[in-house]
Structure 1
């Protein structure tokens, strides 16, 4: 543990913070019960509108008027608009009719509105007759988890329970890819690209990496290349006069603004002219940046043996986002030169070790495979965007061992280092975090996406780093 904390709480501060936390802990179930009571009341309003509309002639407009009238009645007493209230009523009806287990967990304070909303949104891909099973499993999945952490698991569950395979649905959805422009106010427009998830995530990741390079370059000490290119704020659609006008001005763009400028530069000129390192010979370092996407592909999916999403061994996962179709996963696998094999325990699926045909940083690979995201409770920043941290400080004698390492994003790494939040490893990748008020939070490694269950059962998983020999090499 770091004994030189920059942030320390006095006894009085900790006592008051504990009271605040206790109040929040007590209010969570009370708020849940009130919110669900309101949802059930809104669903009753929806039932009234449905009952009245059935007595009217078969006119869509007449039925719509009933719903508008009922929504306006509730909107008047809740100080909102009838349009917004009509949407809330529609959502409440779906919660009551399709997700009673989730609603009950929310009412009891075991989950929050955010969890219930995530369940409802993830379940929309399922036909109504398949939502009961999804509701039962999803509600339990949410207990004790942050909304961000559980969303990808809910996505996977919905894919597994869908009567049609993800490959079939993706093939149909891919036909609808498009780019559209929506005019906004003040001379602005919104450019929307509907793309396969893998491509969209890759584009976003590359823009983020390039924006980081621009920010690093502008924060670096001034040198002979300080005014190279248009790194001071220009882009491909700026005139020479504009460039001269801003040549001596500091680059004060936000990350979002830089990402937007680079996107325009790349699409309009096919090269990132916002690169501050560009020269007359071609693209600078930004042009060499490639998106980094972490994909978990089960063996059977890779070999094309089984694309059934109901089987846990066949769902390929774009880590930190959503499932991807098997054909895309196989195409990605065919384009790489290095294969990394993850050896998992046959019962728990816990990652035991990794190997590769090339010697690489095997320990870092194992920890990326185990953690998959920042290990502070509730954080989902992907491991490829995090730092490997010694749980017990290296400077104080902490070993560089997988039993003393985990991924933390910069925000939570700093918080561990400079505040009174403490953490220790319990074995098997399980972390125990302790807050300044003494509350304990247990963070388990993400559930594995691939499990092979032996017919004769199996022994419990050995502790990582123990003496158990790895399984025989896989046949691929």
Structure 2
């Protein structure tokens, strides 16, 4: 409640801006329960986005201010002034890099993608999501980028930055597959290894701008070797095993390869495989890849088990099964194909690394059917069973979570 006794429910419908800022200033946090505090946190987040948008608009104006002082008239130049970022750097006590980033955000969002800036100003999305929208569309022609932003903005607030990137990358490839292929070939010329010491005394060794099909198969091999070592009784965690195997292989240390090479889970439209379409494929756990990459990876794995997935016009999975080699995985395979990732809000753990869960527990009479099964990673599976959390599946593949503080969130699987 506020200090005058009014409930916080009014915050939910209040637009970001001066009115919301004034209302938040009256919040009496010690008098609020957990449900109400979450509502306040959501309102503060909207207000922060609004204030950040106002800051960006102000910085963008500073870029066009001519030489002057406190007595100068409000004039603007036709083009940004050369040292505008330094004016901001000195005023806000920023590093040069931070000031350049702020100035870049201001130009990009205020002038290049005004719809994104307005979405921030209204509190619909925050700066982190706004940056993703720019970064993932920056290689597109301005008109195409704006159209794509208009297409995805309504859903952006309900997506994590990771989910937003995955969806945008698919849309960017679909918008112009040929241009996407050119960009990838150019980026591959920048492939390299990066290394350095971390603040805690450990080290980082990573590859950048690698061919996605080779990186995915390499990671899958490490996953398979780590899983085999764990199954054989190794006490290290899977993450520790993956890291140690990575270094052992690079250092030429003999490694037990009985775990096999590992397989990459690839989803690719039949039309892409037959060369009739340039629709992108998707490497599970990685994201969308060009049609030619998907076809190459499929060819490399022609001796691996193949499965088909049938979808309706809306993208909902209506059938799934093996094409050869392995016996039908049945219901579990259908549910994993439908859900694709853990069905907790914001979680992107691939289905093949997650548990298959009865929404209504089997011991409580829950049936083993698509309408009562769902994919949950180990962490989210534990969260589901924690005190105060409930999960229902109103329709197959749609999951509604109620948190321990009474808030509800609904997830639906991404279309293939």
Q: Give CA deviations for 1:35-71 in whole Å, capped at 9, x if unaligned.
A: 111111222233348999989xxxxxxx9xx64x432
Counterpart of 1:434 (choices 396, 402, 406) is 402
2:107 match:
93
Distance 1:302 1:92, change over 3 A: same
Distance 1:339 1:49, change over 3 A: farther
Cα distance in 2 for residues equivalent to 1:72 and 1:125:
27
Counterpart of 2:40 (choices 10, 23, 28) is 23
Counterpart of 2:296 (choices 331, 337, 342) is 331
Distance 1:410 1:99, change over 3 A: same
Q: Give CA deviations for 1:405-431 in whole Å, capped at 9, x if unaligned.
A: 000011110011123211111113111
Counterpart of 2:216 (choices 201, 210, 213) is 201
Counterpart of 2:322 (choices 356, 373, 391) is 356
CA-CA distance at 1:23 after TM superposition: 0.9
CA-CA distance at 1:387 after TM superposition: 0.5
Cα distance in 1 for residues equivalent to 2:160 and 2:206:
32
* SS of residue matched to 1:406: strand
Cα distance in 1 for residues equivalent to 2:63 and 2:231:
54
Tell me, yes or no, if the aligned pair for 1:46 and 1:90 is still in contact at 8 Å. Answer: no
Distance 1:408 1:14, change over 3 A: farther
Cα distance in 2 for residues equivalent to 1:211 and 1:302:
31
Cα distance in 2 for residues equivalent to 1:149 and 1:323:
12
CA-CA distance at 1:363 after TM superposition: 1.5
CA-CA distance at 1:112 after TM superposition: 1.9
1:334-345 to 2 correspondences below 5 Å: 334=299, 335-337=301-303, 338-345=305-312
Distance 1:319 1:397, change over 3 A: same
CA-based RMSD of the aligned residues comes to: 3.2
CA-CA distance at 1:122 after TM superposition: 0.7
Cα distance in 2 for residues equivalent to 1:354 and 1:133:
34
CA-CA distance at 1:214 after TM superposition: 4.9
Cα distance in 1 for residues equivalent to 2:405 and 2:240:
40
Please say if 1:47 is aligned against 2:64.
Answer: yes
* SS of residue matched to 2:178: coil
Tell me, yes or no, if the aligned pair for 1:207 and 1:263 is still in contact at 8 Å. Answer: yes
Distance 1:340 1:259, change over 3 A: closer
CA-CA distance at 1:294 after TM superposition: 2.1
Cα distance in 2 for residues equivalent to 1:156 and 1:296:
13
What is the number of residues matched between the two proteins? 374
Tell me, yes or no, if the aligned pair for 2:120 and 2:130 is still in contact at 8 Å. Answer: yes
Cα distance in 2 for residues equivalent to 1:398 and 1:317:
33
Distance 1:115 1:83, change over 3 A: closer
Counterpart of 1:267 (choices 250, 253, 258) is 250
CA-CA distance at 1:386 after TM superposition: 0.7
Query: Structure 2: 5+ residue runs without aligned partners?
Result: 1-29, 68-74
Cα distance in 2 for residues equivalent to 1:197 and 1:88:
32
Query: Structure 1: 5+ residue runs without aligned partners?
Result: 1-12, 56-62, 221-250, 273-282, 308-313, 450-476
Q: Give CA deviations for 1:307-353 in whole Å, capped at 9, x if unaligned.
A: 2xxxxxx22122332321222222333332443221211x2121111
Higher normalized contact order (CA 8 Å, seq sep 6+, divided by chain length)? 1
Counterpart of 1:368 (choices 329, 336, 354) is 336
CA-CA distance at 1:377 after TM superposition: 1.0
Tell me, yes or no, if the aligned pair for 1:130 and 1:162 is still in contact at 8 Å. Answer: no
Please say if 1:159 is aligned against 2:142.
Answer: no
1:149 match:
163
Counterpart of 1:118 (choices 118, 124, 132) is 132
Distance 1:76 1:215, change over 3 A: farther
* SS of residue matched to 2:123: coil
Structure showing greater Rg = 1
Cα distance in 2 for residues equivalent to 1:120 and 1:400:
44
2:6 match:
none
1:437-456 to 2 correspondences below 5 Å: 437-446=405-414, 448-449=415-416
Distance 1:442 1:206, change over 3 A: same
CA-CA distance at 1:256 after TM superposition: 5.8
Cα distance in 2 for residues equivalent to 1:290 and 1:96:
49
Cα distance in 1 for residues equivalent to 2:208 and 2:48:
39
Q: TM-score, normalised by structure 2?
A: 0.80
2:386 match:
418
* SS of residue matched to 1:47: coil
Cα distance in 2 for residues equivalent to 1:15 and 1:48:
46
Tell me, yes or no, if the aligned pair for 2:320 and 2:333 is still in contact at 8 Å. Answer: yes
Tell me, yes or no, if the aligned pair for 2:391 and 2:401 is still in contact at 8 Å. Answer: yes
